[in-house]
Chain A
Amino acid sequence: MKKKILLVEPAYKTKYPPLGLMKISTYHKMKGDDVIFVKGRDTAVQYQYWDRVYIGTLFTWTWRETIETIKFYSATLFNYTGKCFIGGILASLLPDDLFNATGIQPVEGLLNDPRKIDQDDDVIIDDLPPDYEILKQVENANFKYSNTDAYLGYTTRGCTRRCGFCAVHTFEPTYIPYVDIKKTVKGIAANSGEKQNLILMDNNVLASPEFDRIIDDIEELGFVKGAVFGKTKRKRIVDYNQGLDARYLDEAKMKRLAEIPLEPMRLAFDSIKLKNVYLKAVQLAHKYGQKEMSNYILYNYDDTPEDFYERLKTNIDLNDEFKNDGTKTSIYSFPMRYIPLDAKDRDVDTGNGHWNKKYLRAVQVILNVMKGPVMPGKQFFLQAFGRDADEFKAIMSMPEEFIRNRLVANWKDLDTVEARWMPYVRDWMTEFARLSSTEKEILTRAIASTDSSTLKEHHAKSTGRVKKLLEFHLEENNIVAAAKKQYVTR
């Protein structure tokens, strides 16, 4: 009997297409079933009959929306929970919590075993090509998935490392050193047409002893430097978008990577302890002519704000070094805030004593100006993050409104950093520089929680320079508004 299958992605913000659901779609369409894909809680589908509902999950901090979505569809199925299948990252990381909250035992890890979803055949769903067609069912004027012009796939699965900040080893515990990407690409091309780009979501491709064979595969598929696509001859790119492990990069591998249009190349710079390894890897990439790099900078894990600054600055210095030679390697830094693997919302204290809510918020405000990555320009960087780690900390300690409105309107006409600052920023910086280390500690404690009543309490019992700086915090909106007004009338 032809079955009615419903695929659901909870209504959190996403960019990447839901690969797992797309593969499940391929599987059911192969069996002749009807497949419908919806995003979020759709009351219209409650008035249709479903033989099975599959719900994909993503980050653990989407917990609340995910659970509400599961409950909604459980009710849609008249609580026949045996017809509801939940998989994906959240489901694999918090299976027991999810079971207790919904009464549904989720499918953990990959769909690499037919028993996981009671299949009546032995098809390995994880090996199937994803079905791109279903994406159109949820895309509209306000919402589009990105990267739908790319083959999405893997050349390896899992990771050889067991880093504490990463969940991969939990839901993909076995490292599979070779996956035939040719098969995936051909499958996608056959079902959904040819794609311009190749996005590979490997967690650690450089660890693979089959690396050469993988690059051969990619080249065989036509992804070689200079390759173009379609009548308009658009440039084809390959992106290992989960990043490459600098510790495994050697000259031979870099030489091979240079054969494919890797744009950008993404290295991970997760810890200052890896600085030498990282520098060596970037130099290698540069040597082999890699132009664009976008490197992941993990923070709020076991690092300090100082070493976070140093890692960003390292990239700025490298950019400076590469600026004037022929290759023009440019490195974007992509700061990634660590969120604990079981966090049910984004607003969590990680217990890392070096960072606090205020600092994390401040980094976010600084990054918002740049919409994510830190660009290669040195002057801009020094202005945004400070000229050294101390100034970085002084900026992070500022009231949020100060950070957001640090510069005068005509800053581009002015030469020095100080001259570009709004007067209140200058005042803040001067006072902050005068603080003793004990006073700095007191100030940090007062602002760390970003909670206004804590701030007021500290303000009441503090004295001298700390009190003055806390006053800036209490009055930030008035100070900024008054200064802006003055600036305009002048």
Chain B
Amino acid sequence: MSPRRKNSTLQDKLTLGKYVLDSLSAGMYSHPLMSLREYIQNSADAIDCLPGLTDNALIDVSVDGRNRSLTIRDNGVGIPYYRAKRTMLNVGCSEKDPVLNRGFRGIGRLGGLGYCDELRFVAKSQGENIVSTCIWDCKKLRQMIADPSRSVDVESLIKDISIFKQEKYSGSREEHFFKVEMDGIHSGKSELLNVPAIKSYLSQVAPVPFHPDFSFGQLIDKELSTHVKSYRTYRLFVNGEQIFKPYRNIVCLSRGNGEAVKKINFVELQGESGILGFGWLGELSLQGTISALTDMDGLRLRYGNILIGNKETLSGFFREKRFNNYLIGEVHVCTNGLIPNSRRDDFEDGNVKDELYSAFIREIGIPLSRKIRCLSSERSKVKNSSNLATLFENANRIIKYGYISSLQREHMVKSLDAVNGNGSPEDKKIAAELICNVMKSQHILSVLDSRHRSNDDIINLFNKTLEIVYAETSNRAEAERMICRLYKMISEKSCGS
């Protein structure tokens, strides 16, 4: 490369193209509900910034199926009018502090762009009479991105598709709020209109309180408040119904009945750089996996009381992933040394992250994997011994009443022989004796001593046999085939004699 060429390259203006916006919005999340998480995270941060008591603070989600719209409204600090424009329009330059706030990248707000036709932010700060509104034309945005002939940079793209306006507020000066309004939500992404799905998702993800019915909620709240500096819960409503975490006193297992949580165990996750995490686990008998329908299954990882990733995020740190589904509980991060990645499905890489997960493996992943495996092998031992009891019972029946067919006897000897291969010494002894006696056993008909019966008796018996075969076999065609074979055998035999 000549020096001249090099210079001209340096003078060229760098362009951030239109796809950047696409990548930061629709391209960012694997599920539309994740954009809700971003807005609720912003609301929680806004509530945290309120001065004084915040008992009346709330986050209100309303979903309107008829109008295909969704609104998230909080009464947090809002945005002062002089900062509103840059806060609502700038990309990737939030003024928030990554340590004090959950969001700080300045991109979460774009999450809704991909899922509706119009996205509106409306904000008002206390003591002002100005309300600021920013409208994003998402439909136009998508058209411009899809059109290969339009090559625009992010800045002009945003100017083109957004309108910012400030108006005199008709309500009280004292009001303060931030609103996200999504209009024209696509039918294809109807998850954003699916109220039960939204409730279930937010109950697992959002920083909401434990349900009043969960009797351990207060205890856990107390412990978490002591150990996790940033632990807070927020009142969140979806179409008027308050959302709580899914935990309840009774846990429903995938197979079988419910089981009561006996008590709560608390775990401290310590690394070289101090305490990194604090968790609670509901004590269960670890008989099986918890039904996924309960939304309670699996230890969940939370940062700022918001879920990181999903319920599988910690599963990889058990010896077998499914072991996590035997457990209920949460691990809250309590160090400033970790930063969630922009997708919020894990933390940014670094030593502290490795330390946190190592501590998790050491304190929870390995010990509980071991416990679950031990319990499971004990259960299968019990199951084997009950199988063995049935086997011995059947063998004794053959010895007492005779065998039905020589094949049955052969199978029985084989099964008993298998016990000899890997049973306990006592079982082996019993099996060996039974093999001896089964070998000596007679056919069921000889035991009944049918030789002294008359021909009529035998024909009678044969008729009854055929009847039973036909009546008791569930597959009729199979029954007829069997009867034909039996009949053929008998008649050929009588022809021969």
Interface residues of A (CB under 8 A from B): 1, 46-49, 51, 78, 80, 82-83
Given contacts A49-B361, A51-B358, 5 further A-B contacts (CB under 8 A): A47-B373, A49-B365, A78-B357, A78-B361, A83-B358
A78 to B320, CA, bound (A): 11
25 A-B pairs with C-beta separation under 8 A: A1-B272, A46-B319, A47-B319, A47-B366, A47-B369, A47-B370, A47-B373, A48-B366, A48-B370, A49-B361, A49-B362, A49-B365, A49-B366, A49-B367, A51-B358, A78-B316, A78-B317, A78-B357, A78-B361, A78-B365, A80-B354, A80-B357, A80-B358, A82-B354, A83-B358
Residues of A within 8 A of B370 (CB): 47-48
A80 to B366, CA, bound (A): 14
Chain B nearest CB, measured from A444 CB (Å): 50
Residues of A within 8 A of B373 (CB): 47
Interface residues of B in 354-380 (CB under 8 A from A): 354, 357-358, 361-362, 365-367, 369-370, 373
Residues of A within 8 A of B362 (CB): 49
Nearest CB to that of B354 among chain A residues? A80
Chain B nearest CB, measured from A240 CB (Å): 45
Interface residues of B in 407-424 (CB under 8 A from A): none
Residues of A within 8 A of B361 (CB): 49, 78
Residues of B within 8 A of A1 (CB): 272
Residues of A within 8 A of B365 (CB): 49, 78
Q: Which of A1, A46, A49 has the largest count of B CB atoms less than 10 A from its CB?
A: A49
Nearest CB to that of A46 among chain B residues? B319
Nearest CB to that of A44 among chain B residues? B370
Chain A nearest CB, measured from B319 CB (Å): 6
A46 to B361, CA, bound (A): 11
Residues of B within 8 A of A47 (CB): 319, 366, 369-370, 373
Nearest CB to that of B363 among chain A residues? A49
Residues of A within 8 A of B369 (CB): 47
Query: What's the dominant secondary structure at chain A's contact region?
Result: loop
A251 to B262, CA, bound (A): 83
Q: Which of B316, B319, B354 has the largest count of A CB atoms less than 10 A from its CB?
A: B319
Residues of B within 8 A of A48 (CB): 366, 370
Query: How many B residues are at the interface, by size bracket?
Result: 10 to 19
Residues of A within 8 A of B272 (CB): 1
What 1/0 mask marks residues of chain B from 317 to 352 whose CB sits below 8 Å from any chain A CB? Answer: 101000000000000000000000000000000000
Residues of A within 8 A of B367 (CB): 49
Chain A nearest CB, measured from B109 CB (Å): 36
Chain A nearest CB, measured from B479 CB (Å): 48
Q: Which of A48, A78, A80, A83 has the largest count of B CB atoms less than 10 A from its CB?
A: A78
A51 to B366, CA, bound (A): 12
Residues of B within 8 A of A82 (CB): 354
Nearest CB to that of A48 among chain B residues? B366
Chain A nearest CB, measured from B269 CB (Å): 13
Interface residues of B in 369-409 (CB under 8 A from A): 369-370, 373
Residues of B within 8 A of A80 (CB): 354, 357-358
A47 to B316, CA, bound (A): 14
A46 to B369, CA, bound (A): 10
Q: Which of B272, B316, B370 has the largest count of A CB atoms less than 10 A from its CB?
A: B370
Return the 3 tightest CB-CB contacts between A and B, nearest first: A47-B370, A49-B362, A49-B366
A300 to B365, CA, bound (A): 52
Interface residues of B in 299-319 (CB under 8 A from A): 316-317, 319
A48 to B370, CA, bound (A): 8
Chain A nearest CB, measured from B326 CB (Å): 15
Residues of B within 8 A of A78 (CB): 316-317, 357, 361, 365
A154 to B158, CA, bound (A): 73
Chain A nearest CB, measured from B275 CB (Å): 13
A47 to B319, CA, bound (A): 7
Q: Which of B272, B316, B317, B361 has the largest count of A CB atoms less than 10 A from its CB?
A: B361
A51 to B362, CA, bound (A): 9
A48 to B374, CA, bound (A): 13
Residues of A within 8 A of B317 (CB): 78
Q: Which of B317, B357, B358, B369 has the largest count of A CB atoms less than 10 A from its CB?
A: B358
Residues of B within 8 A of A49 (CB): 361-362, 365-367
Nearest CB to that of B366 among chain A residues? A49
Chain B nearest CB, measured from A5 CB (Å): 14
Residues of A within 8 A of B366 (CB): 47-49
Chain B nearest CB, measured from A395 CB (Å): 46
A48 to B367, CA, bound (A): 7
A83 to B351, CA, bound (A): 13
A82 to B349, CA, bound (A): 14
Interface residues of B in 235-293 (CB under 8 A from A): 272
A48 to B361, CA, bound (A): 9
Interface residues of B in 200-240 (CB under 8 A from A): none
Nearest CB to that of B317 among chain A residues? A78
Chain B nearest CB, measured from A445 CB (Å): 50
A80 to B359, CA, bound (A): 13
A1 to B369, CA, bound (A): 23
Nearest CB to that of A77 among chain B residues? B361
A47 to B369, CA, bound (A): 7
Chain B nearest CB, measured from A83 CB (Å): 8
A51 to B354, CA, bound (A): 12
A51 to B361, CA, bound (A): 10
A378 to B316, CA, bound (A): 66
Chain A nearest CB, measured from B357 CB (Å): 8
Nearest CB to that of B369 among chain A residues? A47
A5 to B443, CA, bound (A): 63
A51 to B367, CA, bound (A): 14
A47 to B367, CA, bound (A): 7
Residues of A within 8 A of B358 (CB): 51, 80, 83
Residues of A within 8 A of B319 (CB): 46-47
Chain B nearest CB, measured from A98 CB (Å): 23
A226 to B361, CA, bound (A): 57
A145 to B366, CA, bound (A): 32
A49 to B358, CA, bound (A): 9
A82 to B358, CA, bound (A): 12
A82 to B357, CA, bound (A): 13
A82 to B369, CA, bound (A): 22
A47 to B362, CA, bound (A): 10
Chain B nearest CB, measured from A278 CB (Å): 57
A476 to B17, CA, bound (A): 78
A80 to B369, CA, bound (A): 18
A51 to B359, CA, bound (A): 10
Chain B nearest CB, measured from A243 CB (Å): 46
A51 to B317, CA, bound (A): 14
A83 to B316, CA, bound (A): 17
Chain A nearest CB, measured from B286 CB (Å): 14
A78 to B317, CA, bound (A): 7
Residues of A within 8 A of B316 (CB): 78
Chain B nearest CB, measured from A213 CB (Å): 45
Chain A nearest CB, measured from B135 CB (Å): 47
Chain B nearest CB, measured from A36 CB (Å): 14
A1 to B370, CA, bound (A): 22
Chain B nearest CB, measured from A79 CB (Å): 9
Residues of A within 8 A of B357 (CB): 78, 80
Chain A nearest CB, measured from B463 CB (Å): 59
Chain B nearest CB, measured from A204 CB (Å): 44
Chain B nearest CB, measured from A32 CB (Å): 16
